[in-house]
Structure 1
Amino acid sequence: MRLPVLIFDIETLTDLKSGAHLYGLDLPDADLEQALIKLRRQESGMDFQRLALHEIVCISGLWLDEQGGMKMFSFSREQHSEAEILTKFLSIFDKRNPTLVSWNGSQFDLPVILFRAMYHGLSAPSLFDQGEIDQQKRYNNYQNRYHHRHVDLMDVMAMFNGRNFQKLDDIAHLLGYPGKRGDGAYHVPEYVRQQEWQKLTAYCEGDVLNTWLVYLRWSLLKGQLLINDYRDVIQRTIQFLSTQPQHRDFLAVWRETSQRTEFTSIDFLSPTL
């Protein structure tokens, strides 16, 4: 496992202003949202908006450094505009070149970040350079599907075959991890409308944590982690989460779900846990 590692996830809403501009609509926001949904259904047969119309309201990440230290962060609309969220996230790549890990990041998160960064006139060569500036990135960059600087777990675990794509929630449950807690519904628009920022960041960070745990199992499968190292990182993750009050629920659910699979059932066997 090449350190440092950054596991990330984004949460989005439909950008009503851009949608109105794109389709030439002059409607109140409540009517505009419904009109955009209907137009999207006519275009594609689904409600899921085209990527360029996804406005980012939160980016969360888990950082693991070369010494094994962990740090969780979230940039949300509670304190930052979308442009500020993007600027803060993109600045990470100006300072370091981490292994980037996501679930469906190559088809959703990174393209959305690209479109929204362009919308705000931002520059992000450290993330999007494919060798034009740094020749080393010609052979290992964040965009190439088969490079390892960005590991899209959904894609690599499907062996790059879209017919094999799985949901993060399903794989997390299968492996004995929490997955989505609660009713599993998508509440992000309501969190933003009600300004429930802690719930928003906890939701996004929960996806990051599930992705991290699946990535560790993937690294074990690939031989990038030996079993003793894997167990050590799992224990360090548990210890880290025990210091994070906002993830007390995640840790409690993990303790319970770990008992449903034989391999994961020993995650909490240590008497100190």
Structure 2
Amino acid sequence: MTPVLVFDIETIPDIAGLRTLHELPAELPDAEVAEFAFQRQRAKNGSDFLPLHLQRVVVISCAMRSHGADGGFRVWSLAEPKSGEGEIIQRFFDGIEKFTPQIVSWNGGGFDLPVLHYRGLIHGVAAPRYWDMGEGDYRDSKDFKWNNYISRYHSRHLDLMDLLAMYQPRGSAPLDQLARLMGLPGKLGMDGSAVWGAWLEGRINEIRDYCETDVVNTWLVFLRFQMMRGLLTPAEHDSELALVKTALAATGLPHWKEFIAAWEASC
């Protein structure tokens, strides 16, 4: 069976890029560089959400479900400070190169993947398998003409938020709210708006943990969707949930203990 890879990214303002584009002095503190950019953005459209090409990737979290001899469920992150942005993005696409998984996201087509495209270009990342749309040199490249990672309506990348909304932006739902309505933990302790502040305070581990819980929430919503469309029976769905709980509990990590406790309390 094709492995499934759920992913999510966390970003901060590209301070170095902002200095370059606006010729800001090197001695200007990072927080002030970011505030300068936020103010310009608010003046333009009322929001301080920066353009995608100015979003620096600091974490990519992944959850993979694979089958066979090495099958199972695991969660991990590619993150600073262990790796720089270019290496983080390259390793993500290397995983796609190696496993050719179905990738699943929540708003990945609207945010995560475009960010990875722009930032990958900046860092010279290679991702031939990901970009294969039928013209590649792989044995099965012809199949990618009809089902690839790029086309919105193909399933090799399934943007669950986009699909559930019937590709209508006004129909989209927040992951946190939908997860909690489904009896899942939802977000714990942080949301995307708090990432920059946490980064300035050196709390990269908390950012990573938050990103990892998001990918597991997405995976659990995806499992319910698979049952909804008849690809999992209720018994198979429950078995997958048990596998997730067992895998998370086996890590012994505090954020998974909190996640499982919140999950059990909401059931």
TM-score (norm 1): 0.89
Partner residue in 2 for 1:250: 259
Aligned 8 A contact 2:10 2:195 in 1: yes
1:19–1:183 Cα change, 3 Å: closer
One-letter code aligned to 1:249: E
Distance 2:22 2:145 in 1: 38
The C-alpha deviation readout for 1:59-109, integer Å capped at 9, x for no partner, is: 010111123411211111121110111121111011111010100000100
Partner residue in 2 for 1:53: 54
Partner residue in 2 for 1:76: 79
Q: State the superposition RMSD in angstroms.
A: 1.6
Distance 1:13 1:194 in 2: 13
The C-alpha deviation readout for 1:5-63, integer Å capped at 9, x for no partner, is: 00110000000121232334447133321111111122222111000000000001011
When structure 1 is superposed on structure 2, of 187-196 and 202-211 the one drifting more is: 187-196
Count of residue pairs brought into register by the alignment = 257
Residue 183 of structure 1 deviates from its aligned partner by: 6.2
Distance 1:17 1:145 in 2: 32
Task: Check if 1:128 corresponds to 2:128.
Answer: no
Distance 2:16 2:157 in 1: 31
For residues 81-92 of structure 1, the aligned pairs below 5 Å read 81-92=84-95
Distance 1:130 1:209 in 2: 29
The C-alpha deviation readout for 1:97-126, integer Å capped at 9, x for no partner, is: 101010000010000001000000111111
Distance 1:61 1:175 in 2: 22
One-letter code aligned to 1:31: E
Question: Secondary structure at the residue paired with 1:48?
Answer: coil
Question: Secondary structure at the residue paired with 1:186?
Answer: helix
Distance 2:115 2:31 in 1: 24
When structure 1 is superposed on structure 2, of 178-187 and 152-161 the one drifting more is: 178-187
Distance 2:37 2:47 in 1: 11
1:185–1:122 Cα change, 3 Å: closer
Question: Secondary structure at the residue paired with 1:35?
Answer: helix
Distance 1:4 1:183 in 2: 29
For residues 87-236 of structure 1, the aligned pairs below 5 Å read 87-133=90-136, 134-182=141-189, 184=191, 186-236=193-243
Question: Secondary structure at the residue paired with 1:203?
Answer: helix
Distance 2:94 2:149 in 1: 15
Distance 1:201 1:95 in 2: 24
Question: Secondary structure at the residue paired with 1:132?
Answer: coil
Question: Secondary structure at the residue paired with 2:250?
Answer: coil
Aligned 8 A contact 2:63 2:75 in 1: yes
Distance 1:157 1:216 in 2: 13
Structure 1 gaps of 5+ residues are 259-273
Question: Secondary structure at the residue paired with 2:147?
Answer: coil
One-letter code aligned to 2:15: L
Residue 189 of structure 1 deviates from its aligned partner by: 2.0
Structure 2 gaps of 5+ residues are none
One-letter code aligned to 1:165: S
1:35–1:196 Cα change, 3 Å: closer
Question: Secondary structure at the residue paired with 2:53?
Answer: helix
Distance 1:210 1:4 in 2: 18
Residue 226 of structure 1 deviates from its aligned partner by: 1.4
Aligned 8 A contact 1:3 1:64 in 2: no
The C-alpha deviation readout for 1:152-192, integer Å capped at 9, x for no partner, is: 11101101111101100010011000111236573322332
Aligned 8 A contact 1:127 1:142 in 2: yes
Distance 1:51 1:174 in 2: 30
TM-score (norm 2): 0.91
